[in-house]
């Protein structure tokens, strides 16, 4: 691909992303993207084939541009399952707002377009694998709550950290990112991490009482 063609392709993707964030999927037409990007509608078809092709490519483009791989470093570097769980929720609080507009557009379109439905499954599958890795690590460390199976715990974590939950709490509920991390983290820990009973330590008063009786 020539540099000029690559630049045009990138400009179209960036423009479509920006318009989705500003106006929402239902109000953005290919004509709008073309006019704002300074290209013809035919140019969009030449690069992406259709509106579907543009949305499919945007899913990959957004993940690359938001540096998802770098943002996920703390999750991979975590020293325990509990730390990994906390880092994963922190990651979602940062990454989800950046991809929300494209995710909404893809979610709306996937119900009547097989190609977009396939594109939608890719990031979901990646998050499911990440969720499963955390749950398995908790189990291997002996910390996973025993109330359900690994599969159930994985799906719970997937839904808890998904875009719909984020929108309900942050967009509609008005939570700050800090509230999201704190409260979702608390629910995740209480639901997934087993709390071990600690043996009660004898009180100091009890020690003194025994000592006095022993002296007598």
Question: Residue 192 above 70 pLDDT?
Answer: yes
Cα-Cα end-to-end distance for the chain: 95
Pick the CATH number of 3-49 from 3.90.950.20, 1.10.10.60, 3.10.180.10, 1.10.10.10: 1.10.10.60
Residue 198, both tokens:
């600690």
Question: Tell me: the pLDDT tens digits for 123-149?
Answer: 889 899 999 999 999 999 999 997 778
Domain spans of the chain, in order of start: 3-49, 68-192
Q: 133-144: buried (b, 16+ CB within 10 Å) or exposed (e) per residue?
A: bbbebbbeeebb
Q: Which residue, 12, 216, 177, is CA-closest to 93?
A: 177
Model pTM score: 0.77
For residues 72 and 92, the answer to whether their CB atoms sit within 8 Å is: no
Question: Residue 21 above 90 pLDDT?
Answer: no
pLDDT band for position 182 (50/70/90)?
Answer: very high
CATH topology of domain 68-192: Tetracycline Repressor; domain 2 (1.10.357)
Question: Tell me: the pLDDT tens digits for 72-94?
Answer: 899 999 999 999 999 999 999 99
Question: Residue 211 above 80 pLDDT?
Answer: no
Which residues are CB-contacts of 62 (< 8 A; sequence separation ≥ 6)? 17, 98, 99, 102
At 197 the pLDDT is 53
pLDDT band for position 112 (50/70/90)?
Answer: confident
CA atoms of 6 and 205, how far apart (whole Å)? 77
């Amino acid at each position: 691909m020539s540099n000029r063609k690559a630049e045009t392709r990138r400009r179209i993707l960036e423009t479509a992303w920006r318009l989705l964030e500003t106006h929402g999927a239902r109000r953005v037409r290919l004509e709008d993207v073309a006019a704002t990007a300074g290209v013809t509608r035919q140019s969009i078809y030449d690069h992406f084939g259709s509106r579907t092709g543009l949305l499919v490519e945007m899913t990959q483009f957004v993940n690359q541009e938001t540096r998802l791989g770098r943002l996920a470093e703390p999750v991979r570097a975590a020293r325990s399952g509990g730390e990994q769980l906390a880092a994963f929720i922190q990651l979602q609080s940062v990454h989800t707002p950046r991809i929300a507009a494209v995710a909404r557009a893809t979610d709306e379109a996937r119900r009547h377009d097989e190609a977009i439905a396939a594109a939608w499954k890719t990031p979901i599958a990646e998050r499911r694998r990440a969720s499963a890795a955390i749950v398995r690590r908790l189990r291997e460390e002996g910390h996973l709550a025993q109330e359900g199976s690994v599969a159930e715990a994985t799906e719970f974590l997937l839904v808890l950290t998904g875009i719909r939950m984020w929108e309900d709490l942050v967009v509609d509920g008005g939570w700050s990112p800090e509230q999201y991390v704190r409260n979702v983290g608390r629910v995740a820990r209480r639901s997934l991490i087993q709390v071990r009973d600690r043996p009660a330590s004898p009180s100091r008063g009890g020690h003194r009482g025994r000592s006095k009786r022993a002296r007598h």
